[in-house]
Amino acid sequence: ETYTFEEIQKQRQSLPAYQVKDELMRVIAENQIVIVIGETGSGKTTQLTQFLVEQGYTNNSEMGHRKLVACTQPRRVAAMSVAKRVAEEMGVKLGDEVGYTIRFEDKTSPKKTIVKYMTEGILLRELLEDPNLEKYSCVIMDEAHERSLNTDVLLGLFKQLVRRRRDLKLIITSATMNADRFTQFFGNAPQFFISGRTFPVETFYSKIGCMDYVETAVKQVVTIHLANSKSDGDILVFMTGQEDIEATCELIKERLDLLENPPPLDVYPIYSTLPADVQKRIFTRQNAERRKVVVATNIAETSLTVDGIKYVVDCGLVKLKLFNPKLGMDVLQIVPISLANAQQRSGRAGRTAAGMAYRLYTEKAAGTDEMYLQPIPEIQRANLSSVMLLLKSLKVSDVLKFPFLDPPPPDLLYCSLYELWAMGAIDNKGQLTSLGAKMNLFPMEPTLAKLIILSSQQEFACSYDVITIVSMLSVPGVFFRPKERADEADAAREKFLIAESDHLTLLNVYNQWEQRAKIVQSKQNKLNEWCKRNFLQHRSLLRARDVKNQLVAIMKKNGFPVIQARSDVDIRRCICASYFHQSARLVKMGGNNRGQAEYANLRQPYLKMFLHPTSALIGGRDLSPQFVVYDELVLTKKEYIQCATAVEPQ
Ligand code: ADP
Ligand code: MG
């Protein structure tokens, strides 16, 4: 059940932002740059854009064109979900007056859209086409306190842009942490506070460190649920990502099923690759008799507000991209959150009444010995080669002098520049090469962009197939492997495997799916059934098709030939040529199980890694391949190679 339009307007008017609307609009009218600081849930993200529209910032300019209000988000989920909400509040269709743009998905209309939510990455790419952002009258940089890599790059670019475009309003919103840094950076721009009401939150620590945080969180949720009546409020659990969120949700249901008469509990997961309609369910009106538990990534820390939360269960961890100097690349790693994040998470329990936060770590662990005071900005911990390539294209000739809010460590900068140079994207003088300029046409990691470009060249001539592979690498995993049917799923996957190459396996899956689509004449239910039978994620494949179509369009627009490969060999050669810096050599044979075979990175020989158990390079012949190239490394108990192709001796 959803809310009526009138109910939604009532909700709007009760938000703290609404109470200060006039004053806030006056400050924005009088200043080019304003820093807006407010508690989570006060209405910054959903209301500010609408206020600006009401004030006439999107009305016809001299040229007779409407201008747009942009609102950037560090996360794609937030951009989509918030745009949907605002369209609802304004009583318009999503994609008309209010829309969103995220990578490979544009839900805006060139004629109608006046409010555009987008990821920061999209705004950066728009800057490549229009360095003055002429179509916008206002840009809201939302959630700037998150300090994503793109936030920091945008901040530096805006510092210069606001001088060229005196009429452009820049509004930076931030949770209370970090806000002063923005003020200093923009020459003492005024701060505007939206005071929200918050209630006290009582914090409990775990007495001993927990061995298994999923298990411990589940126990805590069940205990809270059984010990308190529903009228008390709902539960929010912080986990690190899709895997532990799904495990937690399943385990909660399992545990409750074991009990005689448990009160009903609705379990909702939320993470970035979850389909939008499933995500939306957490906001629908629920049965008053049932409690809900939302299991989320740190997206629920500040970007999404779920109302009615009284209990927070915090695992104390977050999954971050960290540049690993040993590997020379980013690795997803689960690390302790900072104290500022811990506080934000606990605070989610006190929005509507006094609440309780259960931290699954000890009070000692929450000391400064084990946790940072503030999170480390991404620009100081992630690979910068994408960003450097972009800055070079924006004609920022000396990236070392770029106005960074916090400069990246020099080693990280040099390392990223070196990578670009080794790839041939910049020359000896640090200037963008023609290859580098072409790479920027593709909105993806430099390695994948280069893979596409190489594949369109005469020597490899396999761009049609490579585009499919890249599309499959850009969507959430296509193989579906439910725990209780793992054997069946593995058997289904085996049928798709192409010897010695996960890349070609992905290509094979896509091609078979596409062929099936032809046979059933794209009847979605039939196609979906086929996917279920083969343990494939239908949604991921649909998305891959979308991405593929867009990549083909980019190729055509820029005059790259789209060619079908004559043989798999050409595709394998092209993959090897593009991933040369992500290559490894076999150093220790595994026994019967090739999964245990040990590899060493070719550039960093002391770096050891293992084939992932689901890889197509496991099984088959007795001998593991001597050399492999790989797309990614994941760090769990071991460093695992994700998506690899064996290098065949020529
Ligand atoms: P802030 O940006 O200051 O954290 P928001 O503008 O995101 O605040 O949220 C304001 C209010 O709107 C919150 O009470 C939140 O619950 C509600 N809200 C936000 N998104 C949605 C949605 N998709 N559906 C229903 N309510 C929403
Ligand atoms: Mg917000």
CA angle 75, 449, 609 (to 5 degrees): 80
| 458 vs 170: CA distance, rounded Å | 47
- Backbone φ, ψ for residue 63 (5° rounding): -75, -5
Tell me what pLDDT residue 67 has: 94
| 280 vs 223: CA distance, rounded Å | 27
Tell me what pLDDT residue 156 has: 96
Lowest mean pLDDT among 60-64, 77-81, 221-225: 60-64
Tell me what pLDDT residue 580 has: 80
Q: Please name which ligand lies nearest the alpha carbon of 38.
A: 1
Section 278-288 average pLDDT: 76
Percent of the chain surpassing pLDDT 70 = 96
For residues 581-591, one letter each, b for 16 or more C-beta atoms within 10 angstroms of the residue's C-beta and e for the rest, the string is bbbbebeeebe
**Spatial CA neighbour of 394 closest among 151, 130, 138, 168:** 130
Report the length, in residues, of the chain. Answer: 650
**Spatial CA neighbour of 599 closest among 588, 590, 612, 613:** 588
As for the ipTM of the complex, it is 0.98
Let me know: does 274 contact 295? Beta carbons within 8 Å. Answer: no
CB of residue 377 inside a 6 A radius of ligand 1: no
Tell me what pLDDT residue 620 has: 58
Tell me what pLDDT residue 591 has: 60
Let me know: does 150 contact 11? Beta carbons within 8 Å. Answer: no
- Average pLDDT of the chain to the nearest whole number: 90
Say if residue 595's pLDDT is above 80.
Answer: no
Alpha-carbon distance values, 400 to 125, 264, 386, 407, 594 (Å): 21, 58, 15, 9, 45
* Residue 421 buriedness (CB in 10 A; 0-12 / 13-18 / 19+): middle
Say if residue 621's pLDDT is above 70.
Answer: no
Say if residue 558's pLDDT is above 70.
Answer: yes
Let me know: does 284 contact 2? Beta carbons within 8 Å. Answer: yes
Say if residue 592's pLDDT is above 60.
Answer: no
Let me know: does 505 contact 614? Beta carbons within 8 Å. Answer: no
- Backbone φ, ψ for residue 496 (5° rounding): -95, -15
| 3-class SS letters over 323-354 | EECCCCEEEEEEEECCHHHHHHHHHHHHCCCC
| Beta-sheet pairing, 627-635 with 583-588 | antiparallel
CB of residue 81 inside a 6 A radius of ligand 1: yes
Q: Which atom of ligand 1 is nearest to the CA of 81?
A: 23
| 267 vs 251: CA distance, rounded Å | 11
Alpha-carbon distance values, 314 to 238, 245, 535, 636 (Å): 5, 12, 33, 20
3-state secondary structure of 398: coil
Q: Give the distance (Å) from ligand 2 centre to CA of residue 41.
A: 7
3-state secondary structure of 501: strand
Higher pLDDT among residues 612 and 206, named by residue: 206
| 301 vs 40: CA distance, rounded Å | 8
3-state secondary structure of 432: strand
> Residue 70 — pLDDT band, cuts 50, 70, 90?
very high
Q: Which atom of ligand 1 is nearest to the CA of 84?
A: 23
CB of residue 305 inside a 6 A radius of ligand 1: yes
Query: Tens digit of pLDDT for each residue in 403-448?
Result: 999 999 988 899 899 989 999 999 999 999 999 999 999 999 899 9
Handedness of CA 270, 276, 281, 285 (dihedral sign): positive
109: tokens are 């209309």
- Backbone φ, ψ for residue 114 (5° rounding): -120, -20
Tell me what pLDDT residue 101 has: 97
Q: Give the distance (Å) from ligand 1 centre to CA of residue 351.
A: 12
DSSP structure string for 64-107? SPBPEEEEEESSHHHHHHHHHHHHHHHT--BTTTEEEEETTEEE
Higher pLDDT among residues 107 and 287, named by residue: 107
Say if residue 637's pLDDT is above 80.
Answer: no
Q: Which atom of ligand 1 is nearest to the CA of 302?
A: 4
3-state secondary structure of 601: strand
pTM of the model: 0.89
643: tokens are 């998506």
**Spatial CA neighbour of 389 closest among 470, 453, 460:** 453
Higher pLDDT among residues 299 and 238, named by residue: 238
CB of residue 347 inside a 6 A radius of ligand 1: no
CA angle 583, 587, 589 (to 5 degrees): 115
Q: Which atom of ligand 1 is nearest to the CA of 307?
A: 16
Q: Token match 């600081």: residue?
A: 37
Q: Which residues contact 619 (CB under 8 A, 6 or more apart)?
A: 494, 497, 594
Tell me what pLDDT residue 231 has: 76
| 100 vs 106: CA distance, rounded Å | 6
Task: Tell which one of 77, 85, 286, 298 to mutate to probe ligand 1, the residue whose CB is within 8 A of the most ligand atoms.
Answer: 85
Q: Give the distance (Å) from ligand 1 centre to CA of residue 345.
A: 16
Instruction: List, in sequence order, every beta strand (DSSP E) within 134-205.
Output: 136-141, 169-174, 191-194, 201-205
Section 261-271 average pLDDT: 92
631: tokens are 């797309």
* Residue 66 buriedness (CB in 10 A; 0-12 / 13-18 / 19+): middle
Tell me what pLDDT residue 415 has: 87
Q: Give the distance (Å) from ligand 2 centre to CA of residue 249.
A: 26
Q: Token match 């594949």: residue?
A: 455
Say if residue 160's pLDDT is above 60.
Answer: yes
Percent of the chain surpassing pLDDT 90 = 67
